[in-house]
Amino acid sequence: MIGFLMPLTALDLMAFTLFALSNFATFRDITGQAPGKYTGNRLKISAFALLGGALWLSLSQYTPGLGLLLWFGNMTMTALLVALSLSLRETFNRPKRPRRNL
């Protein structure tokens, strides 16, 4: 099972990262520059292709019912991971205040 879930998680994680980068503001915040004219569309197409590959991997390993269940569950988990990492990015990048000695 672990030999199946690791590639599935990697494909879904890459896909949702590309979906996040296809947003203009997120792309600018992460890379520091504005995306090109067609960059957002290319990132979305690549993300859909990765999700399709993940679906194919799920359906080739298991029956359609279980494959779809694992695919949707893994997509939910990885989308939550990407959303949390983007929302908590500012918290982790914030400089720490020095402690006061009492």
For residue 16, give its domain range. Answer: 2-91
pLDDT at 87: 85
What's 35's DSSP letter? -
- Residue 68 belongs to a domain: yes
Question: Where is 32: in which H helix or E strand?
Answer: none
Q: pTM of the prediction?
A: 0.82
- Residue 87 belongs to a domain: yes
- Residue 46 belongs to a domain: yes
pLDDT at 30: 84
- Residue 25 belongs to a domain: yes
Domain count, the chain: 1
- Residue 30 belongs to a domain: yes
Report the mean per-residue pLDDT for the chain.
Answer: 88
Q: Span 43-60, mean pLDDT?
A: 95
pLDDT band at 1 (very low <50, low <70, confident <90, very high): low
Q: Which parts of the chain fold into alpha helices (H)?
A: 2-21, 24-31, 39-61, 64-87, 89-93
Q: Span 43-49, mean pLDDT?
A: 96
What's the pLDDT tens digit per position in 52-98?
Answer: 999 999 999 999 999 999 999 999 999 999 999 888 877 776 666 77
Q: Span 3-13, mean pLDDT?
A: 90
Rounded CA-CA distance 26/8 in Å is 24
CB 58 within 8 A of CB 8: yes
pLDDT at 102: 62
- Residue 48 belongs to a domain: yes
- Residue 96 belongs to a domain: no
- Residue 102 belongs to a domain: no
